[in-house]
Amino acid sequence: MSSKGSSGSFNSGSGSGGDKGGGYEVTSRGTNSQGNNYDARDYGSSASNSNSYHYSNSDGSYYYNNPNGSTYYNDGAGKADYTPPGGKK
């Protein structure tokens, strides 16, 4: 999952924020230095994970870091990996 980058990659991309929709506010959006699109999302103070984001990678894969602490990765070729809140599969 190295293509997803890290939350630090938000600062290395170009983009904007402030859009609302789906119960969250997009605080940052753009393309990071690896050419992957991202949205940093704020679900409010009730979210257990304040660092939620979504990557859509140039190879067709995508990665979610969800507000409840779970993660989801799809490699774009039929393989998916889900980690529930708390990190135990």
* In the predicted structure, residue 80 carries a pLDDT above the cut 80: yes
User: What's this model's pTM, rounded to 2 decimal places?
Assistant: 0.61
**Distance, CA of 44 to CA of 13 (rounded, Å):** 23
Q: Where do the DSSP E strands lie in the chain?
A: 14-16, 19-21, 24-31, 37-42, 52-56, 62-65, 71-74, 80-83
Residue 88 placed within a domain: no
In a domain, 16, yes or no: yes
Q: Which domain holds residue 47?
A: 2-83
Indicate whether 89 belongs to any domain.
no
- At residue 7, φ and ψ (nearest 5 deg) are -60, -25
Cα 89 to Cα 20: distance, rounded to the nearest angstrom: 32
Total domains in the fold of the chain: 1
Count of CB atoms situated within 10 Å of the CB of 36: 21
**Residue scoring higher pLDDT (21 or 80):** 80
DSSP state of 10: G
Residues 25-57 have pLDDT tens digits of 888 899 988 888 988 888 888 788 777 888 888
